[in-house]
Amino acid sequence: MYDYDLLVVGSANADLVIGVERRPDAGETVLGSDLVVHPGGKGANQAVAAARLGARTALLARVGDDAHGRLLLDSQRAAGVDTAGVLVGGAPTGVALITVDPSGDNSIVVSPGANGRLTPDDVRAAGSLLQAARVVSAQLEIPLETVGEVVRSLAPDSRLVLNPSPPRPLPDEVLAACDPLILNEHEAKVILGEAYAGEKPEDWARLLLAKGPRSVVVTLGGEGALVASSEGVSRIPAVKVRAVDTTGAGDSFTAALAWRLGLGESLSDAAAYAARVGAATATREGAQVSFPTAQEVAAL
């Protein structure tokens, strides 16, 4: 038996959000709304999203000994996340600067801060957490060598879900452990590099699968998603909603998919559920405050 349905190893940031009529071009200044500060970061977001849905969730991350770090810890605990693996100190808490336009689309710049100090030694020291998790989810807002150590520390029967964001080329060891690798079009282009070809997402998915992951999920925004494995490639239809703010929607999608896979669902069924969770997230402003409960997803 596993103590956790999901262990998230990743980033924790304070999201500094400004609404804008349109995002500025290079060299241009635009006026925006009042600044709002939310708890965020891809790792912290995924942990809260999973816990909100009912998953037994833990977070392995690093925050600063500052007000932003306290905000993040309070948010995790309020959602029911086990924060025993959250380390404090070493650098200021990471910060994400986010602009959101009227359509709900966003642009994000991240200052990693303490996230960049989450080391392979920290992963080794948290070995009991990794051994107690049915599924482990990671992203790339922490050092790549730390993600590599996560791969080497997985329990024999556990499953790794990786969202390579921000994207960079991945070593074979990490690619081979992904089940699935979850990424959008931009991330797919970076991971594929010179191998990128074809206009259809199905082509990207097959090329990505050939690079070594056990399965692949490509998210397509309003076009839904597709899943690829040794069993083939299939489309997951989008859930139509009126988007208010897409911040965190990808993180809640990943968290939901990881949790449902851990429950034994097929990749297609888990992705279909995750699409509903991501859609529900986009109907509200903010990241963690927008994540739905299982009851809210069922009512969508």
Catalytic residue among 15, 245, 251, 269: 251
**The two structure tokens encoding residue 162:** 């990786």
Q: Are 100 and 23 in contact (CB under 8 A)?
A: no
**The two structure tokens encoding residue 138:** 């990671």
d(CA 28, CA 265): 48
CA 25 to chain centre: 27
Name residue, tokens 């959101």: 100
Give the Cα-Cα-Cα angle 40, 52, 205 (nearest 5 degrees): 70
In a 3-state reduction of DSSP, which class is residue 104? Answer: coil
245 is catalytic: no
Give the Cα-Cα-Cα angle 269, 152, 56 (nearest 5 degrees): 45
Q: Which of 227, 250, 225 is nearest to 237 (CA)?
A: 225
CA 240 to chain centre: 21
- 43-74: b (≥16 Cβ within 10 Å) or e: bbbbbbbbbbbebbbbbbbbbbebebbebbbe
Listed in sequence order, the residues at least 6 apart from 253 whose beta carbon sits closer than 8 Å to its beta carbon are 182, 219, 225, 274, 275, 277, 278, 281
List residues with catalytic annotation: 251
